[in-house]
Amino acid sequence: MQISAQVSLYPLRQERLSPAIEEAWKIFQEYELEVQKGSMSTVINGEAEKVFGAIRHIFLISAQRGPVALIVTFSNACPV
C-alpha cells in the first residue's frame, strides 16, 4: 500500500539543528522514498513498510543525538 507522511523533526536543546534534519533526509533516500522538502516539514511517499521503517529509524538515530520531538501525519487516502 502506498502512503504519504508529513514529517516535522525538532531537535531540542541542541546547538545545531541542521545535522539531525540532514541525516533524516539521507535516511529517507536510503529507504527509496519520494521526498519533498519544505521549510517546516518534509513530505514523503512510498510503500507503507518503507515509510514506517524510515520514521522509526529517524526517531531512534535522532534520539541518540539528544532530546527530539518528531511529529508525523500519515495518509493512505491522498497526498499530505
**Would residue 17 count as lying in a domain?**
yes
Query: Of how many residues is the chain composed?
Result: 80
Distance in angstroms (rounded) separating the CA atoms of residues 31 and 50: 6
Q: What is the pLDDT of residue 80?
A: 54
**Would residue 80 count as lying in a domain?**
no
Chain mean pLDDT for the chain = 92
Domain count, the chain: 1
* CATH code of 21's domain: 3.30.70.930
Range of the domain at 17: 2-75
Confidence of residue 18 (pLDDT cuts 50, 70, 90): confident
Q: What is the pLDDT of residue 79?
A: 61
pTM equals 0.87
Examine the pLDDT at 43 and tell me if it is beyond 80: yes
Q: What is the pLDDT of residue 14?
A: 75
